[in-house]
Chain A
């Protein structure tokens, strides 16, 4: 497993950094928020990302992708994190591409990949049901009905839910609410009868939604993967999502940290730069260490996922836990060290803290992944 980027990944990284800095500065997110943009992201920009090939990084070559992999997509996500860019990269290019690739049939791949790669179709994973991430507790039911299924349940924190063409719904086909067996993944068109999607306005001004499923009828061909056997591919998809989101958070943390250090050099009080005060210096130095250590965990997780390494899950949990804790630190310290101006909406530093909290909660926070790391290690 290489922890230093090869030249191809470095190239992707450089072009992604330039892309988001140029085309999607934080100002974009502010505009989307203030104009209450119906989509919550820029479709033309999404098209450009698709043209750059980013939507196809996890898609097999046979289906129009490049199979460039998680390390490459991680570079794009990290760059997007730096400018807090609102994009369907996570929901569609990462999660849906992985779910369809890992669990889908050949027919499903042929059906969904073209739209996914071209940027025409947006996908959303409808997983969460409670206030905390818990992929093992699924109450949404899918009951057999002729040769199809009828789905009933309520989902929340569905990223890009209200703009999705297709939902990937995690439902229970058998077993009790916390059984690992009996979970099945379904491809459900967002406009299917009985599907109701309400956008949720969250603190990070990014897309999320609540989805209710009331007697939603789907055919047998909607099943993604094995009936009752959805937990394993879901876990694999979630590990990629965790590592990818951790990469995004690393980007945001790095940016918040660097902006804060710059502010410490620029802001004068008591006749000197506040960065000369040791109370701030030491905390800045500690943040530096945490960002560096987080970068190592994130890079290792991305590489391990590409290699299908035995410790990929462990590393995904490590990366998401470190990224969550570090984003918490850099967000909070960023606001604090900016003083009064950091409390204003006009200043951008607060955006980082707000995104940090949402990203922390998504797919498991630090506490969730410490628990999982322990379980995977055997204690």
Chain B
């Protein structure tokens, strides 16, 4: 424990000295830091914070130091997290490189692939996107049709990916491709790393119902991918694909956690402002009840996350509980924004313009964005299928 206590003291001092003032304030959604060659830093301190943290490897605290990671043990990483939370530090870097590809390369990548890709992820130099879904392969991901044909030292790739989040802002894409069309659908899939700048790769942004444009169609036309960019074995990509999805779902399962970007005020304050109060209570009892349902489910779910974390600290294997996080967190997040919308009344129905409070406009767009939570990374129905099968053991 003494070692951890030392680490805590040092960390506290370092964070105090190095975390810029604006990086200790709640993060507006447009100041997130995802890195990459095309990154623009609206707030210059975002970049300073990223550079300081990545120099210590603390953008990826538990990754091995040999690749530039923090090399911290679980206990130390927890301490770092606690100390960052204590002074309200923003996350210095997020994105699919950190949350999804990196862990998979650490598990399945070659040494050459780790050396090439991990340091650039850790420093936020390269931004990655995910080329899984296709027009004909969503929930049924293994039905994907993008073809990759091995021709000597390279694959020739042709296909059409869709819903590729931030492809237009990304430098590289990890793709699932079909390398053996004759095999059973799960057995002919491979996992390739592709540079978005290569010839034949094109991303076309798609506008969402929120008006934001965060995902793209990605076209792959006769793209030549060096054979060394295959992760794992040829035709054995499905195992890696599934493992990456576990990381993705774990990440999405953290949505709405304490410290995540939120509405500007507690929802009950928005409600009181909008409908008034009687004896300190929101004047509309139905709205008040809706808010209680939402806040209490959130409270109970946060306790569930904590219970799972404590169980894992106590060395217990991840229980069946973990299967529910993606489902529950995303359904909750939708009810959270529905409550905000209901509380605000017509103030939350604005699309743009000066007569609306910018915070309200942002909430409204986030309400629309939240609808994707139960679709992306595997829909709620797919998650329920997984719980029914793996946890409850119900037959197919």
Name A's B-contacting residues (CB within 8 A): 2-4, 261, 264-265, 272-273, 275-276, 278, 280-282, 284-286, 288-289, 292-297, 299-300, 318, 321-322, 367, 370-371, 373-375, 377-379
Q: Which residues of A contact B391 (CB under 8 A)?
A: 285, 288
**Contact of A375 (CB < 8 Å), options: B281, B311, B328:** B281
- Which residue of B314, B327, B392 has the most chain A CB atoms within 10 A of its CB atom? B392
B117 → chain A closest CB, angstroms: 36
Given A4-B307, A276-B395, A378-B280, 19 further pairs, Cβ under 8 A: A3-B303, A3-B307, A4-B311, A261-B392, A276-B396, A278-B385, A281-B388, A285-B384, A285-B387, A285-B391, A293-B304, A322-B296, A371-B288, A373-B296, A375-B280, A377-B268, A377-B295, A379-B281, A379-B291
Task: Select B268's contact among A2, A264, A289, A378, beta carbons within 8 Å.
Answer: A378
Determine whether the beta carbon of B387 is less than 8 Å from that of A289: yes
Chain A, interface SS category: helix
- Residues on B with C-beta less than 8 A from A288 are 320, 324, 387, 391-392
Interfacial chain A residues near B272, Cβ < 8 Å? 379
Q: Is the pair B299, A297 in contact by a Cβ cutoff of 8 Å?
A: yes
User: For A297, what are the chain B residues with a Cβ–Cβ distance below 8 Å?
Assistant: 299-300, 303
Question: What A residues does B269 contact at CB under 8 A?
Answer: 379
- Chain A residues whose C-beta falls within 8 Å of the C-beta of B293 in the assembled complex: 370
Known contacts A286-B384, A367-B289: A318-B300 contact under CB 8 Å: yes
The interface bits of chain B over 277-318 (1 if a CB of A lies within 8 angstroms of the residue's CB, else 0) are: 100111000001101110111011101101100110010100
Q: Is the CB of B289 within 8 A of A4?
A: no
Could you show 11 A-B contacts with beta carbons less than 8 Å apart?
A281-B385, A285-B327, A289-B328, A293-B297, A295-B307, A322-B296, A371-B292, A375-B280, A377-B268, A379-B277, A379-B288
B223 interfacial contact with A, CB 8 Å: no
B201 within 8 A of A: no
Contact status A264-B304, CB under 8 Å: no
Q: A374 contacts which of B288, B320, B381, B388 (Cβ < 8 Å)? A: B288
With a CB–CB cut-off of 8 A, which chain A residues contact B304? 292-293, 295-296
Q: How far is the CB of A240 from chain B (nearest CB, A)?
A: 19
Least Cβ–Cβ distance between A247 and chain B, in angstroms: 15
Q: How far is it, in angstroms, between the C-alpha of A264 and the C-alpha of B293 when the chains are bound?
A: 30
Task: Digitize B314-337: 1 where CB-to-A-CB distance is under 8 Å, 0 elsewhere.
Answer: 101000110010011000000000
Q: Which of B277, B281, B291, B384 has the most CB of A within 10 A?
A: B384
Bitwise, B326-369 to A at CB < 8 A (1) or not (0) is 01100000000000000000000000000000000000000000
B271 in the interface, Cβ–Cβ < 8 Å? yes
A284 to B389, CA, bound (A): 11
Name B310's closest neighbour in chain A (CB-CB): A4
> Is B394's beta carbon under 8 Å from chain A?
yes
Known: A297-B299, A377-B268. A276 touches B394 (CB 8 A): yes
The answer to whether B327 and A321 touch across the interface, beta carbons within 8 angstroms, is no
B277: chain A residues within 8 A (beta carbon): 379
A residues near B314, Cβ cutoff 8 Å: 4
> When A and B form their complex, which 5 residue pairs have the shortest distance between CB atoms, in order from nearest?
A379-B268, A281-B388, A370-B292, A285-B387, A296-B303
How many A-B contacts at CB < 8 Å in the complex? 122
Given A288-B324, A299-B307, A374-B291, answer yes or no on A293-B393 (Cβ-Cβ < 8 Å). Answer: no
On whether the beta carbons of B268 and A4 are closer than 8 Å, the reply is: no
Contact A296 B306, beta carbon cutoff 8 Å: yes
The smallest C-beta distance from B252 to any residue of chain A, in angstroms, reads: 15
Taking CB atoms, residues of chain B closer than 8 Å to A377 are 268, 295
Interface string of B255-288 (1 = CB under 8 A from A): 0000000000000110110000100111000001
The closest CB in chain B to the CB of A301 belongs to B303
With both beta carbons as reference points, the residue of chain B lying nearest to A326 in the complex is identified as B300
Q: What is the bound-complex CA distance between A295 and B277, given in angstroms?
A: 34
Complex contact B311–A379 (CB within 8 A): no
Q: Is the CB of B394 within 8 A of A318?
A: no
Q: Of the candidates B282, B310, B387, B388, which one forms a contact with A2 in the assembled complex, judged by CB atoms under 8 Å apart?
A: B310
Decide yes or no: A318 and B280 within 8 Å by CB, A265-B393, A292-B324, A296-B303 being known contacts: no
Closest beta carbon of chain B to A373's beta carbon, Å:
5
| CB proximity of B97 to chain A, nearest CB, Å | 31
CB distance from A27 to the nearest CB of B (A): 27
Please determine whether B300 and A322 come into contact, CB atoms closer than 8 angstroms.
yes
B332 to chain A, nearest CB (A): 10
B388→A292 contact, CB < 8 A: no
Note all chain A residues with C-beta closer than 8 A to B320: 288
Known A3-B310, A288-B324, A293-B301: A282·B296 in contact at CB below 8 Å: no
Within the complex, what minimum Cβ distance (angstroms) separates A313 from chain B?
A: 13
Q: How far is the CB of A236 from the nearest CB of chain B, in Å? A: 21
* Chain A proximity mask over B42-56: 1 for CB below 8 Å, otherwise 0: 000000000000000
Residue numbers in A under 8 Å from B394 (CB-CB): 261, 264-265, 273, 275-276, 280-281, 284
- Of B271, B272, B391, most buried by chain A (CB within 10 Å of CB) is B391
B371–chain A nearest beta-carbon distance, Å: 19
Contact between B327 and A289, CB atoms less than 8 A apart: yes
A4 touches B316 (CB 8 A): yes
> What residue of chain A has the Cβ atom nearest to residue B311's Cβ?
A4
Q: Let me know if A373 and B295 touch, CB within 8 A.
A: yes
- Give Cα A297 to B302, complex, Å: 9
A293 and B385 contact, CB distance less than 8 A: no
Q: Which of B307, B383, B385 contacts A296 (CB 8 A)?
A: B307
| Least distance between B266 CB and chain A CB atoms (Å) | 8
Known contacts A281-B384, A281-B388, A288-B387; decide if A275 and B300 are in contact (CB<8 Å): no
> Which residues on A sit within 8 Å (CB–CB) of B268?
374, 377-379
Residues from chain B with a CB closer than 8 A to the CB of A275 are 388, 392, 394-395
Closest CB-CB distance, B321 to chain A, in whole Å? 5
* Residues from chain A with Cβ under 8 Å of B327 in the complex: 285, 289
Residues 61-98 (chain B) with a chain A CB within 8 angstroms: none
Please give the distance in Å from A269's CB to the nearest CB on chain B.
13
Tell me, rounded to whole Å, the shortest Cβ–Cβ distance linking B315 to chain A: 10
For residue B324, which residues in chain A have a CB less than 8 angstroms away from its CB? Answer: 288-289, 292
List of B residues within 8 angstroms of A322 by Cβ: 296, 300
Residues of A within 8 A of B291 (CB): 374, 379
Contact call A296/B388, Cβ cutoff below 8 A: no
